[in-house]
Amino acid sequence: MVQNGEFFMIKEMYHKGWSITAISDKTGFDPKTIRKYIKSDQLPKRKQSSPRVSKLEPYKDYLRERIREGTTNCSVLLDEIQAMGYDGKMTILRDFVRPFRQQPKKQATIRYETAPGKQAQMDWGHVGKYDVDGEMKEIYAFTIVLSYSRMKYVEFTDNMNLETLMKCHMNAFAYFNGVPEQILYDNMKTAVIKHSPVEIRFNKKFEEFLAYYGISPKACKPYRPQTKGKIENVVGYVKKNFLQRRHSDTLNGINQEVRQWLEQTANKKVHETTKESPQIRFQHEQKYLARASDKPLFPIHHWELRKVSKDCFISYEGNRYSVPYRYVGQEVKIKETLNHHLEIYDHFECIAKHPILEGNSKEYIDLNHYKGLNTTSKGLPTKRHTQPQKELEVEQRSLQLYDQLEGGELS
């Protein structure tokens, strides 16, 4: 673009007799441009172009709302606005979001890479309150990552006790269809009961569990999160990516949704360090994992005692389950199996087995438990919700049954 001073210089050179070609050679401007300005009495004004509307503009109000909710992850926001019709690039989205994000302070560390099948890292993360069978409970994320491939497994639970820890491990082994040689743990009390400069002691039951699968446990150094940086990144990724999406507010719901997220996003996305997706690297790593399906599941049952009520029931987690009438008034042992059944034992054998009911204030009745009582087969006025089962369905009980139980007619 010709500037004001150059415009007058061109006019002056022309009036002094310079040819168009000579002026072009001297100034470097195109002859057409020189002719245009020689004919003009003043420097033409630059055309004012109308401001360009950003492709992001229609979505900025939505983005501001999501940012106020705490979501600043551009990958999550891009997925959401693309579903709304956005066809622009990630770059302008990042430029828009950047001022709203806090830049964390970074500490230089040396990254340690492991061979395929050698190690996994595990940790818990607190994620807030969710609905569990109608009751709001604190929920935690069990997270584990294979160190070589970065293949991840996530499961949400309402507690972090030892039995839940072992169940989640076995679910992860099934998901990976294999077991690593070593798992690195934080100093959580359920796993590590003592960690000093001279001694590291793991929970004995947990050690037995890991030994059963041929796993060597390792505890990371206290107050040094970079020791298990891969799993720290996974916990952060779950919170910053998955939990910032709009999802179910129930425990069952988010566990179903996190499986989809693992398959479609977390294990599919190219990793910044390896430059490959976890799913691709896992194809190589899986053959180095020990087979988890070669042996039965590790027995982790927790025994509890219950007293059999006068109407032949024991209570478990808000629901009631029938027991043979001869055990009325006695204490029995109960345990929940890995396939979600409740088993009831006397001193020697299993006397009843029921599927675990969902919800509260429900009953599961096996009519065989009342055989031998002089009962009628007619219906009863008290309606009870029961879990459907072929041969064991019942919705009503005879009042005569209660009369006999109260009166002690158990012979």
- pLDDT for 28-69, tens place per residue? 778 888 888 777 766 655 555 556 778 888 888 888 888 887
The per-residue pLDDT for 406 is 47
Q: What are phi and psi of 170, to 5 degrees?
A: -65, -35
Q: Does pLDDT of 118 surpass 90?
A: yes
Other Cβ atoms within 10 Å of 134 Cβ, number: 10
Helix axes 31-39, 4-15, angle to 10 degrees: 80
Helix axes 4-15, 20-27, angle to 10 degrees: 140
119-288 has which fold?
Nucleotidyltransferase; domain 5 (3.30.420)
Edge-to-edge strands, sheet with 216-219: 152-157, 135-146, 119-132, 182-185, 216-219
The per-residue pLDDT for 37 is 77
CA distance 152 to 157: 17
Q: Does pLDDT of 379 surpass 50?
A: no
The per-residue pLDDT for 107 is 54
Q: Tell me the pLDDT of the chain averaged across its residues.
A: 80
Task: Give the lowest-confidence range in 62-66, 256-260, 384-388.
Answer: 384-388
Helix axes 90-97, 74-83, angle to 10 degrees: 120
Digit-coded pLDDT (tens) for 7-16 = 677 777 877 7
Can you give the residue ranges of every domain in the chain? 4-39, 57-100, 119-288, 304-407
CA atoms within 13 A on the CB side of 264: 10
The per-residue pLDDT for 351 is 94
Digit-coded pLDDT (tens) for 216-231 = 988 876 545 545 556 6
What does the radius of gyration of the chain's CA atoms come to, in whole angstroms? 35
Question: Mean pLDDT throughout 389-398?
Answer: 41
Give just the sign of the alpha carbon dihedral 245, 247, 253, 256.
negative
> Max alpha carbon distance in the chain (Å)?
134
Q: β-strand 200-202 against 192-195: which pairing, if any?
A: antiparallel
- Mapped onto helix, strand or coil, the DSSP state of residue 315 is strand
Residues 6+ apart with CB under 8 A from 68: none
* Contact between 121 and 231 (Cβ < 8 Å): yes
Residues 6+ apart with CB under 8 A from 405: 310, 311, 312, 325, 328, 373
Other Cβ atoms within 10 Å of 95 Cβ, number: 12
Task: Give the lowest-confidence range in 52-61, 71-80, 110-119, 247-256.
Answer: 110-119
Q: What is the pTM of this model?
A: 0.54
Question: Mean pLDDT throughout 129-150?
Answer: 89
Question: Mean pLDDT throughout 176-188?
Answer: 89
- Torsion angle in degrees (nearest 10) through CA of 21, 27, 31, 33: -160
The per-residue pLDDT for 331 is 94
Q: Give the range with max mean pLDDT: 105-114, 365-374, 391-400.
A: 365-374
